[in-house]
Structure 1
Amino acid sequence: MSDNLQAHIRGDVLAHVSGNLRRLRQAAGLSQAALAQASGISRRMIVAVEGGDANISLSSLDKLAAAMGVRFVDLVRDPACAPSAEINEVAWRGAEADSTAILLGTAPATTEAQMWFWSLGPGERYAAEPDPAGWHEMLFVTEGTLRLELSGAAKELPAGSFTIYATDQAYAYANAGTLPVRFVRNVIS
């Protein structure tokens, strides 16, 4: 994992799940037993998660969120942070210290999600027309420094960084450096 990405991580998602689950369950007017029945997750597991004593799977978190009528990200998001597209939280840890999954961000989707791998040579620029309202992009730079231009304002994204933005505005990707820039691009419509 790059130092830039590691610096973005505020904490372990499991630290937020406990309080978020309890708060959202109560807001939904559900007892632990009612949530267990609605989600198919045992009451014992729900008690353990709310107590901060269990490591729950991502698919089980998704079932709990669906049963409460909330999004997965509502369970994992740091409640102290204002809602935004950026999450920056560890959502899974493996047995090895280098094994983690970081939920970088989220954007609403109604039609389709696409994943692209882009490469721009030195001096290359790609200009895009604005997309319909509601479309978003998520970029993660894997190599070099990407210059992202949004409605005329430029933002430099070095390797290991990411951004999420609406594409209902003029935007462009550029490589002002002397080495190739590579990045993952997710389009959500």
Structure 2
Amino acid sequence: MPHMSNIMHSQSDRSDVLAHASSNLRRLRQSAGLSQEALAKASGVSRRMIVNLEGGDTNISLSSLDRLAWALGVDFVAMVADPAATVQRIEALTWRGGDEKSVATLLGSVPAASSAQLWSWTLGPGDSYVAEPDPPGWHEMIFVSEGRLRIDKDDGALTVSAGDFAIYSSAQQFSYSNAGDAVTCFTRVVVC
């Protein structure tokens, strides 16, 4: 079974998310008055990764972008969205799996206690996505529209079929995998 990490790739056939992350990171870091070294210490992301991301020459995990955003006092959307886009309608491809049918698109975001994000995902047969734990207090709501999605979490695994949903704390190690022979489509809402 192919296994895909949560890494965003900077290949030219992908979305502009990394270009936005590059310019947004530089702008937000400078606005906060932080050096790259200070941001590295505050976020736990290496200075080399920050230098490479600001230079537009790196692959980075979604969770590392999240840690950078947290350290800068902004949400994930501020890191990856086109500055000209509205947060209600972002529509940015942020992850692609090993199968061309496996993609994650950040559709939009609304304010919550901190942030809420709406995602559209597809996973091709046999594909998976491994996430890193979110900070305490974060949750996910998943609605499967096609296929069957297996969610493996530290507190137990579950399989969600088309028409059903799951809500759980994402402040734990978790992963998604296609549990069927056809494409699985699901909507993901991340709330913190």
Taking structure 2 as the reference length, what is the TM-score of the superposition?
0.51
Residue 32 of structure 1: aligned partner: 36
1:86-101 matches, within 5 Å, as: 86-101=89-104
Amino acid at match of 2:51: V
Unmatched runs of 5 consecutive residues or more in structure 2: 1-13, 119-142, 147-185
Q: How high is the sequence identity, in percent, across the aligned residues?
A: 63
- CA deviation map 1:9-60 (0-9, x unaligned): x943112111111111111111100100100000000011111111110110
Alignment of 1:43-62 (within 5 A): 43-62=47-66
Q: 1:84 aligns with which of 71, 76, 87?
A: 87
Alignment root-mean-square deviation, CA: 3.4
1:91-139 C-alpha deviation (Å, 9 max, x unpaired): 122333322211111112239x8x9xxxxxxxxxxxxxxxxxxxxxxxx
SS at 1:36's partner residue? Answer: helix
Equivalent-residue separation in structure 1 for 2:64 and 2:91 (angstroms)? 20
AA partner of residue 104 (structure 2): A
Which of structures 1 and 2 has the bigger CA Rg?
Answer: 1
Equivalent-residue separation in structure 2 for 1:28 and 1:104 (angstroms) = 27
User: Residue 27 of structure 2: SS of its match in structure 1?
Assistant: helix
Cα distance in structure 1, aligned partners of 2:57 and 2:107: 25
Whichever residue aligns with residue 30 of structure 1, its letter is L
Task: State the distance in 2 between where 1:94 and 1:110 align.
Answer: 31
C-alpha distance in structure 2 between counterparts of 1:185 and 1:99, whole Å: 14
Q: Does 1:13 align with 2:20?
A: no
CA distance in 2, matches of 1:36, 1:184: 32
With normalisation by structure 1, the TM-score equals 0.52
Q: Is residue 65 from structure 1 mapped to residue 69 from structure 2 by the alignment?
A: yes
User: What amino acid is aligned across from residue 50 of structure 2 in structure 1?
Assistant: I
Q: Residue 105 of structure 1 corresponds to which residue in structure 2?
A: 108
Question: What SS is found at the alignment partner of 1:34?
Answer: helix
For the structure 1 residues 54 and 185, does the alpha-carbon distance in structure 2 shift closer, same or farther, using more than 3 Å as the test?
A: closer
Which one is further off, 102-111 or 22-31? 102-111
Which segments of 5 or more consecutive residues in structure 1 lack a partner in the other structure?
Answer: 1-9, 116-139, 144-182
